Chains A and B, each alone.
Chain A
């Protein structure tokens, strides 16, 4: 639910919108937030992240097919995975405030780094 905030990626790093030309109006934060295609896509991404949390010892295998997809079909620079991971961490900090201690924060940084690395693993 919380993690819906990942759409912030498109506002904080507007060049990431380059992958979403077909999504319609992305001209402002409110446009992005209200965009149904963005919502649907956000859900997809979050479901994958849920899979990551369930497969922490096996990220590379879990993301193998997605990695190939992002390279061969989507042509996404892996730097974008790093940016998204960091946005996710900020969104978690907003949601959890004090509970998002340095230790909890560090654990999530490891997770997002692991996911980013798994998603880049099949690039060629």
Chain B
């Protein structure tokens, strides 16, 4: 699966909307993840995961910022996320199944915030994009 020109245009356009509320979107995506898929909380025993938690907010901001890096380097996501890829492979070792769950929660969050912009084509492009990001992040697992 690779991104077409049209995908890239859509991805950038939706990103420009996300960027206006980046931290909130990241935080909300994580809240959705932990609420719908409680097993994902097992990766954060050291966090206060309550709504409004500063740690949650900081982490949400981190996640969306990394996605922004991928958008800005869309022709070379591998190299843009190389450090994060190593981090996930050797230190964090989050089971690959969870990337799909977080990706889905991100899409739901974006859909809720930008209903008019999140057309079927936008959903398709972002779903593809997040699949690629997920695969870059799990690439070094074994």
Contact = CB atoms under 8 A, between A and B. Distances in A.
Contact of A102 (B35, B111, B120): B35
A102 B104 contact: no
B23 interface: no
B120 A86 contact: no
Contacts of A94: 111-112, 115, 118
Interface in A51-91: 86, 89-91
A98 B108 contact: no
Given A8-B123, A11-B121, A12-B127, A96 B112 contact: yes
A11 B36 contact: no
A100 B35 contact: no
Interface string B11-25: 000000000000000
Given A90-B107, A105-B35, A109-B36, A11 B115 contact: no
A103 interface: yes
Contact of A11 (B28, B104, B120): B120
Nearest to B32: A102
A98 B119 CA distance: 18
Interface residues of B, number: 22
Nearest to B126: A12
Interface string B114-136: 01001111011001000000000
Interface string B86-119: 0000000000000000001001110111010011
B36 A102 contact: yes
A12 B120 contact: yes
A102 B107 CA distance: 13
A97 interface: yes
16 contacts: A8-B123, A11-B121, A11-B123, A12-B124, A13-B127, A89-B108, A90-B107, A90-B111, A93-B111, A94-B115, A96-B112, A97-B112, A100-B112, A102-B36, A106-B32, A106-B36
Interface of A: 7-8, 11-14, 29, 86, 89-91, 93-98, 100, 102-103, 105-106, 109
